Each structure stands twice: as structure tokens, then as C-alpha cells.
Structure 1
Amino acid sequence: MDIADFFDTFFEEAEELLADMEQHLLEIDVDNPDSEQLDAIFRAAHSIKGGAGTFGFGVLQNTTHIMENLLDYARKGELALRADLVDTFLEAKDIMHEQLNAYRNEEEPDQETYERICQTLQQIALEEIGRSLEAPAETTSSASTPAASTEEASADGLSADEAPQANSTGQLKVALINVDDKDRLLLVEELEQLGDIESQSGDDKRYEVVLSGSVSADDIEAVMCFIIEPDQIDIQPVATGEVKADASAGQPEAKPPTEQETSAPATEQKASPPAPAKAEAGDGQAKGKAKKAASESSSIRVSVDKVDQIINLVGELIITQSMLDQTVSDLGEQSGVNSSLQSGMSLLQRNARDLQESVMSIRMIPMEFVFSRFPRVVRDTAGKLGKEIELVTEGKSTELDKSLVERITDPLTHLVRNSLDHGIEMPDVRESIGKPRTGKLTLAARHQGGNILIEVRDDGAGLDRDRLLAKAKENGLNVSDTMSDEEVYQLIFAPGFSTANEVTDVSGRGVGMDVVKRNIQGMGGRVEIQSKKGEGTVTSIVLPLTLAILDGMSIKVGGETFILPLSTVLESLQPNKDDMYAMAGDDVVLKVRDEYLPVIAIHEVMDVENAITDPTKSIAVIVQGEGRRYAMLVDELVGQQQVVVKNLEDNYRKVPGISAATILGDGSVALILDISGLHRLSRAKKEAAKPAKTQTMSFYKESEPS
């Protein structure tokens, strides 16, 4: 087996380790650092180094090794942490991430960046502790020697007197538990790269390899865990007199440590299961680690493509079940149906629904995955702006579809930077107006019906309505002083619109916000803004929980069935002739509780024949899209149902006014309407039809609403 088969596993786990490293670095108190956090940062670097060495990623291995040595000094108290040192460690983490991506793309990492960060870390070591840090000479996992491990063994719970006797032979017994032949051969080959194999014996249940050399148990575990689970490895030191002469007696003796190895900074020497980094943590940490290992062994990594394929098949199953249900219902109306068949269909429906929900939950990821990226963004941006910011997160356990999680990060980052740059005032300004010097930025997520609501809240200056209107008029936008606050705030999403006095390298309120809005709409969501001058701004993003399943309202127009996303539907009513008005430009509005809503006649926009053309005999469905409300004229409301979304662009092409399609229980295709797209399409058709008015215009009042 080629070890390259495990590259993807290494890349994924290294990404997680780098994320953990960044989180701990951001949370650590430089004045009183938590030893457990320092140990966690060290272990993350150590594991990445071991894996990088195994896979031959030399640049990544060397960078991580040098950083690991500095972290080792820090956790021993020989290197005092400062804010600028944490900044350097964060920069090193970013560079390691770039190196990881380079190897992922089968490219060589940037040599100049690598040399610069290594020089920076070396300089810190020389200035702070007066020592030089050497990178490993070979692209294999670096290790501590038995002699150099005395201090580490003490940290792991052994006294300095006990440590030499624990592994006086310089050998380790590595047991591979429940590992098949194919993986075992690969693992033994890797062990040969880490030291000299003195003996090996056993079977699939437990295969033991005695390894001699300078490699540590921690290094072996770091490498092996990229291939098998932690609970499949048992590493124990070989005590004096334990080694027996056997069939492998011809193997070379253990090599003494070289001068370079004995001068290297010591790393952890652990027995397996690995002892906790601090002796006083006791059995609690050991049990915690064992529990974590058990948890990891009960999970598997599955390609997203495979999950998507299962979701698609479940969707097809739901459609088939709907068809069968429709058939049984039709048969029942005609001649009666066997009760057992009806009972079976009911059971199938329940099981299909449970299966659908279970499969969909596989793709759901906690919002913590998104929010965890923002402490670094806020820290770096606030530092660049000279502001003091407190970041608060709420609802981190709220789950969202994986595809949406990946796509929401960039728009959310832009909104956060806007709040930091143009929302929250400078500390001196805040203090002068009676606010705390430290501004507060809150990221919140919660479920709202069938949607997820994500909010970016700041306690800054808020949006200035008058200033927004003045800037809009200056830019030639069609605005009026009678616009609602919500409509005025939506102006910041207009392309190129900005009220910033100067454009910074962080953001410009409005610059790029049109892209944010467009991206969110592309996910089937919408953006809403609430603001109060002097008190702050709340930007809300409303998204569907998943892109595969949609709660919809079925409507009839002529002989066609359409689906309205239920999240956009507010209410429905029977229009009254006295409440409808013709506006300039052939627009029609419907008065609903003193609010005038643009009317969209679906039969006109979608060219549907045999539809009801008299508005008073139609049903007006009040919907919301892009922060505005519309009245959509339909013939009939069929009912609410969950539908499986089929992407039109993948199977056909983009259609104006249509966001996707679905298959109904009778096998027919129903189009899922795009509210905002329908309004734009309606306006475009009316513009194309000028100067002739539509035949139905004479029905409405000619006077404009007051």
C-alpha cells in the first residue's frame, strides 16, 4: 500500500490541529498562562511535525519543529510569553497553514516565507533564552533521546530517579491492536523509518514490534494516529532484562544517540496510553483522554460527495413514496383500498421521513465551526484599527447545512469587519460620549421556524438615515424621504454605495456589500438591517436550514403548480377592488393595513394560460424578499409540504424568477419561485411592453395612493 493513500487524512487532521492551536493561542493569558493550554498547543505542533516527517513534507516539518521547541521552553517556564510573541506564534501558524495547502496542491511551499519565519523564531530563541534552535536533519519525526528525556519523564509523572529505569534499554514495545495485514505491513515499514526493529511477532489481534533508537513514544503515536485509531496502539518502554533472544536476534543493536540528537531540546516521553502532561492532573485527565480516544474510534470520516449521493437517493425515495401515496389515495377514492395497504403506506411515509431527517442531520454542522474563525479576525482587525473590542458568541450549538457553512464565512467576515471599522467608535470617542472604551461585537445564531437566523450586532454609532439618503441622491438612486427605515438601510447594499469618509484596507461600509447580499441570496437567504443612531446596528441573515429540503407552499395558477418557499410567505387574503391602485409606469399596488405593496400577477409574469385575471377573484399571497414585501396574485392555495430541491442550473440553465424545481407526488415538475427575481422580471416585462398598457390596467384606480 502506498502511504500517499493517507495524505487526505493527514491534511484534514492537520487542519483541525492548526485550528486548535490558533484557538488556544487566542485564549491564552500571557500574564498567567494556563499550563494545560500550553501543553495543548505544544501537542498540536508535535503531532503535525510527526505526520509531516512521515509523509516527507520537509518544510512543514522543520517549521513546526522549531516552533515546537519554542513552545517547549514556554511550557517549562524558560520563555516568558508576551502579546508580541503570541502574535509571532499566530503568524507561524498561518505560514504552516499555507505550507499545508501547498503540499495539498502538490506544490512546494514558498521558500522565502519559510526562511523568514524560521529566522524570526530563531531570533526569539537567541534573544529570550540564549539558545539556537536546530531543525531536524532528516524528514522523519524528530525525537528525544533517553538521556534527554529525564526531565520530560518527570513532567509526565515519573521522578528523575524513576525515569532512567523506566526505559533503560532505549527500546520501546509497540503493540498494534486489531490491525489487518495490509495496514500492519505499512505501519511496520513506517516504524523502520523511525528506528531499528529488534523483533516482531503476534497476530491480527495484537502484533508487537520492539523498536530501538532515539524515537519517543509520543512521536510514534503522532505518526501512527494518522493511519489507525489511538486505541489501536499500545506503546510501552522495554525494561532491562525484558528483551529476549528470538528469531530476530540477527537484527542490529540499538544505536547510541548522536551528538546532534543529545543536544536537541527534549520532547515528551510517554508510555501508552500517554500519561497526562502534568502529574497533578491525575487520573481525571487520563480517563478524559481514554474517553476521547473511544469517541474518536466510534466515528468515521466520509467524503462529502458520498453523503450528497445518499441525500440525493433519499430525496428520490421521498418522491417515489409521494407518488405511491398519491396512487393509493386515488384508488381509495374509486373502489376502496385494502386497509393493510393503507397502513403499510402510512408506515412507509413515517420511515421515509425519519430516514430523510437522519440523513440530513449528517450534513449539519454546529455554528461553532464558523464562529471559531472570528476571534482571530476580530483580534487582528481591532489591533490594526487601534480599537478595543470584546467578541461575544451566542448559539454556537445551532446547526446549519455544511454547504451553507462553507459559503456563509466570507459574507459574515465582511459584515464583521464593517462593524469593527465603521460601526464601533474609537475608544476615546466612546469614552467621551459615556460608552465603555471597549466596544462589544456579538455573533449570534438561533433557529427561527424552518430557518436559521445569524446576527451580527455591534454597540457602535449606528446608521445615519439622513446621511444615507443624501448619499443615495448624490449617486442618482431613486429614493424619497418617505421611505421606511428598513428600505433606507438596504441602500448600503447598492453596488458601490459607501458613506465612509475614507476607504481603508479593512473595509468601507457599503463597498462590497452588494456582493455580500448577492451571495446570501444565492443561498436562498435574505439580509435585514435594524439600526439606531448612537446605539448600534443589527445585521440579520436568514438562511434555510438545508439546501436539499424546502418547506414550501403549493399554489395553483391556471393549470400550473408552483412552490413558494414557506419562509417568505407572511399571509394571504382576498383583494378588494378599492384597495388596488395603478401607479405611474404601469405598476400596481395593493393597500394592506396602510402599507402599499407592489402587485405581481404570476400568470402575466410566467405567461400562464387559462388563469384567473380578475384580481378580486384571485388570492393575494403576501411574501417578503430582499427586505421588501410583495402581493402575489394566484388562483388557489393547494397546501403546505416539504419538497426535495432540484437545481435547475445543474440540469438545465438559470431561469429568471425561478430558483429551483421539485417533483410532486403525481410525478409532475413544479417550479420553486424566486420572489425578488419575479419582481424584477415583472418590471422588465412591463418596460418591454411600453407604451401600450396591459388590458387589466383599466380595472385599477388611476389615482396614486396618498
Structure 2
Amino acid sequence: MSIDLSQFFEVFFEESFEGLDAMEAELLNLVPGEEDLDTINTIFRAAHSIKGGSGTFGFSAVADFTHVLETLLDQIREGSRTLTDEHVNLLLKSVDCLRGLLSALQAEQQPDLSDATALRLKFEDILNISSRNTAQPVAATHIDSELTNTYQIDFKPYSHLFKTGNEPLYMISELAELGELETQAFADAVPDITSLTADDCFLSWRFFLNTSKEQTSIKEIFEWVEDDADITITLCGGIFNEPDTQQLEQTTSKVSTSNATPNNSVQLASDDKKANVKTVPASTESTSIRVAIDKVDSLINMVGELVITQAMLTQLGEQDVTETTMTSLQEGLAQLAHNTRDLQENVMRIRMLPISFVFSRFPRLVRDISQKLDKQVELKLLGEHTELDKTVMEKISDPMVHLVRNSLDHGLETAEKRIAAGKDPIGKVTLNAFHQGGNIVIEIMDDGQGLNTAKIKEKAIANKLVSNTEELSDDDIHRLIFLPGFSTADAVSDLSGRGVGMDVVRRNIEALSGSVEVSSAAGIGSTFTIRLPLTLAILDGQLVKVAQHTYIIPLISIIESLQIDISKVSRVGNDLDVLRLRDEYIPILRLYSIFNHQGAIEILDKTLLVVVESDNQKVGLLVDDLLSQQQVVIKSLEANYQKVDGVSGATILGDGRVSLILDISGLIKLSGLRKPGSQELIIDANANLEAS
């Protein structure tokens, strides 16, 4: 019976990625010449844990690569090597490399070792390690005249050690790399064959290690199993003690002091991986979430309240129907509705995570790009504890990356240009997040040169996106950057200039039922503002009636609802009616016409108008009647049926009927009011009517 190590793979990958995030964050805080030992130790421990776990599970490519960067870190923390900018850059590249290796392994793919090999050669060049040893793990230290201390290490694992995915042989090889090692294995606890189980550990060990390393180096080897074994480390002196041959029946073996590799462990893990490789999910997207204990406690309390209410209703259902029982039943149903709403809100809270999970990737991004562009940049993060749904967070990350890159490339000037303009030579990029109503607002701000309004318009005219006779405000011109294929870059680079990007950013954000806006001032800077729903799972909606159909309008899109004063309605073009509402004209969209319904009320002054807003554009939706407002659970049409223009999803109402949720931006496009890919209304009702 073999040990199924694959059951621990997902935990290993999750913890390894967290370790890499910690390494990256601490590396970005390192300033050569000003580094502190705690930061170096944090980076070392993260690398050491990844190395130990990958070796245990047989991921030798990861273990071997991590070993050589761990050696450099070990020398830096011991003071035998001075940290340089080159070291920091290499270590950051190593974090990226390890992410790639682990992601490939998690997806059950063969990792590409080309980057790992190139980086390893650079590390070995720094460490003056002979190239003939590159095919094997390199010992962290070598035996020399500095070996002065001998430690006795008693290691008695608990029987469940193997079930935690740990392999003693790998620990032995780690000890051997610290110096000259003698190992004793005690087998007195091994039962007879009838009681023997393959996944229980019955052996214990005593080690004698002669080394110049500190005792902390020994403790780090056993840190993975400190809760799963009895471990005693004793300083003996400068020579090996004689083994206690009278204590127990034992097997003694000499382990090589360099290049020790736990071949049996690796082979076992590899065989188990092959035998159970369907047990690892193919996707590298995070499939788990960490939840604060207070959220779990609150959820348990809510379930308890729900059980009590259900028991009360059950008891009432068994009684004769009287006026008293009906009153109690109504009260119980009201309590049930209250408990259900509380339970729903608490369940949704479990999916809510601080946006710091997204923000944490930008210090590295800003550092790398600013170095490449030879710009001095300061990144400021605000509102990092603002929470939003995990799904929204995962999907907003890429659009934010593009916007930050855009600020660094196009927005911020070089230090020389900033000084000439009377600015601080260090440019500033600020990420800010905060709640606003039922939305989360994310701002990407820079204090750069701002958008070049004249150049944007010139490019738009050259690309025939607008005509040279159109009168456009600065805000209208700024919105042109979101058109497909639009770019003002004079040369193509790996950062910008291919005419692909901002339209994709807007499209991806709109797919999350969000919006993106830009404001800019020449010489002062630009601000991109993203508005998103807190969650994609539920929304507060207004139910409306159109003919025999019930639709749901997201409450957050509604400005107001009103009865139409026919005297304020005018006709623009052949078939577009607009309503003069205070100081602006609102185009009227007839939902019954868009969705081809029969039997709807068509006389304007006998209907209701719901004024909604999308992308800073207001339109009025013509409906027969307003029904109730309620919170609805969103079901994806695209996943369960197919994409439907003008509809963002569906839900099931209390009477069992399916109701469609309207997509305001999609409706405007579907009605023909908006150019494909544009945020502008084709007909400027305000200008046309005021001119007349």
C-alpha cells in the first residue's frame, strides 16, 4: 500500500504561492546596504519551505532551483556576502520563475526549465560554483577547517508522519549538507508483519552532526515536522560522540556530505503523483478561500436561528388553523424572511476579500517598468482593506494592470522633463479603493502630463473614428482612447503602441457590470475611475412590467421613475422620441419594440419612464408598470443558454417564473443609439433640439 501524497498537493501549491508573494513583498523592501536581518530571514524561510515541500512531493526541478538561491540567501544572512542590486533583481526574477514552475506542475504540465537553467547559471557564477555541478543540487556548505561543533539530534516521528506528506530521508540529506553527518535508525517499534501498516512511521533516528553552522540552521530543517515528532538538539562538543549501541537495535549508515538527494523519497512521490494525477485540478486559478473565524461563527449563529424558526413553523403547521395560529404563522414567516436575508448576507461575506490581494502585485510591476523606462516612480496604495467579491477581484486584476502600465508609460514624464516643468522628479501613481453605495470604486491616478487632447483628436480623425467637423468637448475626446484600435504611441513597444488595450479594458470591466471613466488635465495628471458591483452573485433590482413579461432593472442604474408629460416630448429624426427633463433631453427606448413584444401600452402618457444611466449617458426605458423592488440571485444566461444582447443575466422569481435582468449599456447599443465600440450617443438630442 503506497502513500497517496497527491492529496496534499493543493495545500502545498497554495502555501508555496503565498510564500512567493511574501518573498516578493520583502524583496521589494530591501535596500542594499540598509537591509535588516529579519527581512532576509523571512525571504530565506519562504524559499526554504518551498524547497522542502517540493522535495517531499518529488518536484525536483523546483527543489533544485530553490536550493541555489537559498544558498545565496544563506550567505547574505550570515554576513559572508554583501547584498547588491544585482542580487535583488535576480531573486525577484527567481520568484517569477518559481511561480511559472509551480503553475505548470499544478496544471499537470511539464515545466519549461529554460529560464530556471539560465537563472541558475547566474547564481552559480555569483557563488563561484563549478559548472560541472549544475546537474545536481549544490551543497549549502562544504566541509573545511571551520567545523568545530558536534550536535546530537534525536528525531522520533509520530506514527502519522507519512500522512502529512513528510519524508525523513529528505531531512537527512538536508542535515548532510550542513556538515559531516552520522545517522542511526532505531527499529525497535516496528511491529510484526500482521500489525504492520505501510502509511504509519515506526522508525526513529539519532544524528551526530559536525558543523560550523548555528543551531538555528538545524531547527529550520525540522520546522515542517515540529508538531509531528519529538525533536531534541543537544550540543556535544567538537568531535563525534560514540553511538549508544546498547540502547536499541539499530541500523547505522554513513551519509555523503555533499550532493545528497533523497532518491527513494523522490521516486515514491513521483510514482504516487503518476498513480493519482487526476486528483490535481487542471486550472491554476485559486479554488480555495481563507475565511476569518468571526465570519464562520456568525454563519453558524445564523444557521442556528434558522433552525429555531423552522422548528417553530413546523409546530404551527401541526396545529389547527385558528386566528391565533395564523397570526403566529405570519410572524414566523416574517422571522424566516429576516433570517434568510441575514444568512444570505453572511454567506456573501465569506466571498469578500480585501482588495490588497490585487494591490499587492503592483509594487513589483511599478518597480520593473519604472526601471525599464528609466523613470523615478513612487507608488501609493490607499483603501487596501476595502472588500469585494473574490470573483470580481480575480477578473479586475488584468484591466488594472493595463491601466497602471498606461500611467507609467504614457502618463508620467522622465525625471528631466518633470524638473524642467517645475515638478518633483519622482512621479507618483496612486491606487485608491472605496465603497460608494452598492459599488466599489477603484481609482488609478498619476501626476503626469495628462492626456494630449490635440493629439488624440488628430489620431481619431486620421483613423476616421470621428470627422474633422465634429464639435467635441475635452471629455468626449478623452473617451476616444477606449475605441478599438486607438493608440497615440509613435512607436510599438512591449508596453504600448499596438492599438490593443484600452477597448479591451473597457469591455472586460463592462462584462463585470461595471464602468470605467477618465478625467485628465494637461500638466497635472490623469485619473481612471472604475466602478464595479461588490458581487456578481446578487443584485438589488426593480421589477417592471412590459406587456405580459417581467424584467429586472439593476437598482444602481436607476436615476428616477416618472410619468411622462407629453408636452415635453419631442421627435428627433424619424423614430426617436426624447423627453425634456429639467435641463437635458432624455432619449426614450421602447422596450416592447426592442424585444418585439405584443400587447404593451404604446401611448406615452399612459406609461411610465424609468430613467437610467450607463457610461455617463442617460436614457429612459418605457415600461407598462413598476412592480416591487427585491434582491435577486443572478444566473448566467451565457453559461446556461447563450449570450443575449441587452440582457446581463436571469433570475427565478418567487412564483417560479424566469425573469431577465436588463443590461443598460447593451440596450443602448441594441437600440442603435450608440456606435459599436463607442461610448457616445449617435444622436446628440440636446444639441439638435436646442439648435432648433
| Contact kept in structure 2, 1:439 and 1:458, CA below 8 Å | yes
Tell me what 2:256 maps to.
Answer: 258
Tell me what 2:483 maps to.
Answer: 494
Partner of residue 235 from structure 1, selected from 213, 231, 236: 231
Q: Deviations over 1:411-437 (max 9, x none)?
A: 111111111111111211111111111
Residue 104 of structure 1, CA deviation: 2.2
Give SS of 1:563's match: strand
Tell me what 1:50 maps to.
Answer: 52
| Contact kept in structure 1, 2:76 and 2:82, CA below 8 Å | yes
Q: How does 1:91-170 map to 2 (within 5 A)?
A: 91-126=93-128, 164=150, 168-169=151-152
Q: Does 1:565 align with 2:522?
A: no
Q: Does 1:472 align with 2:449?
A: no
Residue 482 of structure 1, CA deviation: 4.3
Residue 137 of structure 1, CA deviation: 8.3
Counterpart Cα distance in 2 of 1:336 and 1:657: 49
Give SS of 2:108's match: coil
Tell me what 1:342 maps to.
Answer: 330
Residue 582 of structure 1, CA deviation: 2.0
Q: How does 1:6-45 map to 2 (within 5 A)?
A: 6-45=8-47
Counterpart Cα distance in 1 of 2:430 and 2:72: 34
What amino acid does structure 2 have at the position aligned with 1:190? E
Q: How does 1:173-322 map to 2 (within 5 A)?
A: 173-176=155-158, 183-186=160-163, 190-195=167-172, 197-198=185-186, 209-212=204-207, 216-222=218-224, 224=225, 231-232=227-228, 235-237=231-233, 249-253=248-252, 255=254, 258-260=256-258, 303-304=287-288
Tell me what 1:172 maps to.
Answer: 154
Question: What do you get for the CA RMSD once the two structures are aligned?
Answer: 4.0
Partner of residue 603 from structure 1, selected from 573, 579, 592: 592
What amino acid does structure 2 have at the position aligned with 1:57? F
Counterpart Cα distance in 2 of 1:45 and 1:433: 45
| Contact kept in structure 2, 1:422 and 1:508, CA below 8 Å | no
Change beyond 3 A, Cα 1:77–1:656: same
Give SS of 2:250's match: coil
TM-score, normalised relative to structure 1 = 0.77
When structure 1 is superposed on structure 2, of 647-656 and 413-422 the one drifting more is: 647-656
TM-score, normalised relative to structure 2 = 0.78
| Contact kept in structure 2, 1:494 and 1:510, CA below 8 Å | no
Counterpart Cα distance in 2 of 1:237 and 1:386: 51
Q: Deviations over 1:14-46 (max 9, x none)?
A: 111111111111111213002111111111111
Q: How does 1:59-98 map to 2 (within 5 A)?
A: 59-98=61-100
Structure 2 unpaired stretches of 5+ = 173-183, 192-198, 210-216, 261-284, 317-321, 677-684
| Contact kept in structure 1, 2:75 and 2:81, CA below 8 Å | yes
| Contact kept in structure 2, 1:550 and 1:642, CA below 8 Å | yes
Tell me what 2:279 maps to.
Answer: none
Counterpart Cα distance in 2 of 1:217 and 1:37: 19
Change beyond 3 A, Cα 1:595–1:3: same
Residue 174 of structure 1, CA deviation: 4.2
What amino acid does structure 2 have at the position aligned with 1:604? S
| Contact kept in structure 1, 2:55 and 2:170, CA below 8 Å | no
| Contact kept in structure 1, 2:12 and 2:53, CA below 8 Å | yes
Give SS of 2:586's match: strand
Change beyond 3 A, Cα 1:113–1:463: closer
Counterpart Cα distance in 2 of 1:136 and 1:601: 72
Counterpart Cα distance in 2 of 1:50 and 1:597: 65
Counterpart Cα distance in 1 of 2:477 and 2:382: 28
What amino acid does structure 1 have at the position aligned with 2:575? D
| Contact kept in structure 1, 2:161 and 2:228, CA below 8 Å | no
Change beyond 3 A, Cα 1:603–1:187: closer
Aligned length: 604
Tell me what 2:268 maps to.
Answer: none
Counterpart Cα distance in 1 of 2:251 and 2:453: 82
Q: Deviations over 1:290-314 (max 9, x none)?
A: xxxxxxxxxxx9945999xx99xx9
Counterpart Cα distance in 1 of 2:357 and 2:114: 32
Residue 410 of structure 1, CA deviation: 0.9
Q: Deviations over 1:586-631 (max 9, x none)?
A: 3333333322332211121122333221223322222122332222
Q: Does 1:657 align with 2:643?
A: no
Change beyond 3 A, Cα 1:142–1:632: farther
Q: Deviations over 1:267-286 (max 9, x none)?
A: xxxxxxxxxxxxxxxxxxxx
Percent of aligned pairs sharing the same letter: 40
Tell me what 2:497 maps to.
Answer: 508
What amino acid does structure 2 have at the position aligned with 1:94? D
Change beyond 3 A, Cα 1:142–1:132: closer
| Contact kept in structure 2, 1:136 and 1:142, CA below 8 Å | no
Residue 519 of structure 1, CA deviation: 0.8
Counterpart Cα distance in 1 of 2:630 and 2:335: 18
Residue 186 of structure 1, CA deviation: 3.5
What amino acid does structure 2 have at the position aligned with 1:172? D
Change beyond 3 A, Cα 1:444–1:115: same
Residue 636 of structure 1, CA deviation: 2.3
Residue 49 of structure 1, CA deviation: 1.0
Tell me what 1:543 maps to.
Answer: 532
Give SS of 1:31's match: coil
Give SS of 1:590's match: strand
Q: How does 1:427-506 map to 2 (within 5 A)?
A: 427-478=415-466, 481-506=470-495
Counterpart Cα distance in 2 of 1:190 and 1:473: 68
What amino acid does structure 2 have at the position aligned with 1:669? V
What amino acid does structure 2 have at the position aligned with 1:237? I
Q: How does 1:307-456 map to 2 (within 5 A)?
A: 338-456=326-444
Residue 535 of structure 1, CA deviation: 1.0
Counterpart Cα distance in 1 of 2:639 and 2:550: 22
Q: Deviations over 1:558-594 (max 9, x none)?
A: 2222111122112223333343332235333333332
Counterpart Cα distance in 2 of 1:651 and 1:488: 39
| Contact kept in structure 2, 1:199 and 1:211, CA below 8 Å | no
Q: Deviations over 1:225-278 (max 9, x none)?
A: xxxxx75555332677999879x93321363x634379xxxxxxxxxxxxxxxx
What amino acid does structure 1 have at the position aligned with 2:231? I
When structure 1 is superposed on structure 2, of 199-208 and 511-520 the one drifting more is: 199-208
Change beyond 3 A, Cα 1:365–1:188: closer
Q: Deviations over 1:397-421 (max 9, x none)?
A: 1112111111111111111111111
Residue 513 of structure 1, CA deviation: 0.8
Tell me what 2:541 maps to.
Answer: 552
